[in-house]
Structure 1
Amino acid sequence: MFVSQSGIAVTAKGPARRGATTRGLAVQTHVVGALLMRELHTRFGRDNIGYLWAVFEPGLLALAVTLLHLAASSRTGFGMDPIPFWVVGYTPFCMFRFMVLRAEAAIESNRTLLYHRMVTITDLLIARNLLEFASAAMAMAILVGGAWLCGLGNLPDRPLLMFAGMAQLWWLSFGLSLIVAAASENSTVVQRIIHPATYVSLPLSGAFFLLKWIPHPWREYLTWSPLISPFEQIREGQFASFDSAYVYPTYVIGWSLVLTILGLVAIRITRRRMHLD
């Protein structure tokens, strides 16, 4: 608001308001970027292979699980090579699991940063979760690319479709991580159950199977899980020979939107009750 020469108070509108929004967005972008670099350095440091652990951690887990499945069975069906099949299933699940699991300690481990007015709990979680997305995507690219170079698999046939599935899974995981972070700050019970809960979600996620393999009526029950659709879509992106009838992006986006709104409200309530002393 400013006062004109005639003494009438005038409220800033239009370009001025948009300019303030743009500046605020730029500031928060810099904050998230700084938090991301801090998280990268704090978690992986410079010892041994340093930042490469960001890629090797999910990559080694996905590789180990892939080898176990290959030892059990080397067939998947639908013209899909087994190594890329397992890799593009378990690596995104690692992203989901790490985002939700590490949200439990996100506030406690970064409490001192909240003394800075520009840093919010949401910024902390966005930075952490962007790191998880980048780590999982790079690990998946390296493993799938390695399988292709060795003649054991193909590169993604529809990469944009795969990226869309990863983005939906990330948003869903982000919304859930907001709720977990707020709940963990207010209850020790959540801290106890979140770890086993992520393991329980594995057989319900679609990371290791296609819905086509599941008999009726269990297939219909599984379609209610919002985790299923992103994994089906990711495999559609990897394999041109596979088209799923169980990809529901609107359903997943609806879940993600509701979880994000509930999470933001929970974070706001939690921040008001927090004592930084």
Structure 2
Amino acid sequence: MLKEVRKHRRFASLRAIGALILREVQTSHGRASGGYFWSIAEPAGGIVLLTLIFSVTFALPPIGSSFAMFYATGMVPFMGYLDMSGKVAGAVRYSMALLAYPAVTFVDALLARIIFNSMTQIMVATLIFTAIATFNETRTDPQIDQIAIAMAMMLLMGSAVGMMNCFLFEAFSWWQPLWSMLMRPFFLLSCIFFIFDDVPQPYQDWLWWNPLIHVIGQMRRAFYPSYAGDYVSYLYVFGLGFGLFALGLALLVRYHRDLQNS
């Protein structure tokens, strides 16, 4: 009997997550012609446009022969992290009306957003890298398994930070504008325009604690086999990511009803 109840709950949760994912697809740029297409085309087009602009300004990249590809290997994981963390942070607030129904839980809302935005970011990255490689002589040797690791690192950090902020944004009204202000310097502190190896001491030791340094470093050594990227630490990124994810989830489990009623 107990097994049947658990099985029923499991299938109910899967149905709820599936329905929430379909809702995300339908509501993403729902008023615009093309709908979900713009969820992929908008970030991809923005990154490609910035890549082309900076390619004119900076002739030679620190590694490789194409600044467009060098810039994209930094910009794609950085923007993917920002978008992922922002979307996950707003998951509960976005689905607040649906959480009044017993069949939908806040975990369903979070998982639906994580799954939907993970698929979107993978398609955006594929589109950007394919377009640059098609129209530019990049002299890169992309390693699919290493790219997959970089994407996993990015998606985990985005989900983990988003999970923490999902709680903090609702618990403390001042945290969201403060977080937005704190994240602005990270565009320059995440080695998008340069490589970590060129940063002088003691700043290199300080920057190492920025997890995005490791994500971008992993993406670059996935495209440039000659780039060692010895500073990249899987243990640090995955440990920090799973730790933040677990802490954020625990806080939401403990306080989500109080946050919904506040």
- Normalised by the length of structure 2, the TM-score is 0.89
CA distance in 2, matches of 1:235, 1:22: 44
CA distance in 2, matches of 1:27, 1:154: 49
| RMSD (CA atoms) | 2.4
Question: Residue 221 in 1 paired to residue 198 in 2?
Answer: no
Superimposed CA distance per residue, residues 206-247 of structure 1 (whole angstroms, 9 cap, x where no aligned partner): 333321121222112111222211111111112223221111
Question: Residue 97 in 1 paired to residue 93 in 2?
Answer: no
What displacement does 1:203 show? 2.1
Q: Is the 8 A contact 1:70 1:82 kept in 2?
A: yes
The worse-fitting range, judged by mean Cα deviation, of 169-178 and 199-208 is 199-208
- The equivalent position to 1:34 in structure 2, one of 3, 14, 19, is 19
Q: Is the 8 A contact 1:162 1:234 kept in 2?
A: yes
Alignment of 1:79-158 (within 5 A): 79-153=64-138, 157-158=142-143
Q: Find the residue that maps to 1:227 and give its secondary structure.
A: helix
Question: Residue 232 in 1 paired to residue 217 in 2?
Answer: yes
CA distance in 2, matches of 1:247, 1:239: 14
Q: Is the 8 A contact 2:64 2:138 kept in 1?
A: no
Task: Name the residue aligned to 2:178.
Answer: 193
What displacement does 1:38 show? 0.6
- The equivalent position to 1:53 in structure 2, one of 35, 38, 56, is 38
Go from structure 1 to structure 2 and tell me whether the alpha carbon gap of 1:139 and 1:48 turns closer, same or farther (over 3 Å shift): same
Q: Is the 8 A contact 1:179 1:263 kept in 2?
A: yes
Q: Is the 8 A contact 1:159 1:237 kept in 2?
A: yes
Superimposed CA distance per residue, residues 59-107 of structure 1 (whole angstroms, 9 cap, x where no aligned partner): 1221122123212202113335221221121122112111222344332
Instruction: Give the partner amino acid of 2:232.
Output: V
Q: Is the 8 A contact 1:66 1:83 kept in 2?
A: yes
Q: Find the residue that maps to 1:44 and give its secondary structure.
A: coil
What displacement does 1:25 show? 4.4
Task: Name the residue aligned to 1:271.
Answer: 256
Q: What is the aligned residue count?
A: 262
Q: Is the 8 A contact 1:184 1:190 kept in 2?
A: yes
CA distance in 1, matches of 2:58, 2:130: 22
Question: Residue 76 in 1 paired to residue 64 in 2?
Answer: no
Q: Find the residue that maps to 2:211 and give its secondary structure.
A: coil
- The equivalent position to 1:173 in structure 2, one of 158, 163, 184, is 158
Instruction: Give the partner amino acid of 1:161.
Output: Q
Flag structure 2 segments of 5+ consecutive residues without an equivalent: none
Question: Residue 247 in 1 paired to residue 220 in 2?
Answer: no
Go from structure 1 to structure 2 and tell me whether the alpha carbon gap of 1:122 and 1:165 turns closer, same or farther (over 3 Å shift): same
Q: Find the residue that maps to 1:57 and give its secondary structure.
A: helix
CA distance in 2, matches of 1:25, 1:80: 51
Go from structure 1 to structure 2 and tell me whether the alpha carbon gap of 1:156 and 1:133 turns closer, same or farther (over 3 Å shift): farther
Go from structure 1 to structure 2 and tell me whether the alpha carbon gap of 1:157 and 1:181 turns closer, same or farther (over 3 Å shift): same
Task: Name the residue aligned to 1:8.
Answer: none
CA distance in 2, matches of 1:95, 1:129: 12
CA distance in 2, matches of 1:93, 1:127: 22
The worse-fitting range, judged by mean Cα deviation, of 256-265 and 62-71 is 62-71
Q: Is the 8 A contact 1:85 1:235 kept in 2?
A: yes
Q: Is the 8 A contact 2:96 2:260 kept in 1?
A: no
Go from structure 1 to structure 2 and tell me whether the alpha carbon gap of 1:84 and 1:20 turns closer, same or farther (over 3 Å shift): farther
Instruction: Give the partner amino acid of 1:125.
Output: L
Go from structure 1 to structure 2 and tell me whether the alpha carbon gap of 1:36 and 1:156 turns closer, same or farther (over 3 Å shift): farther
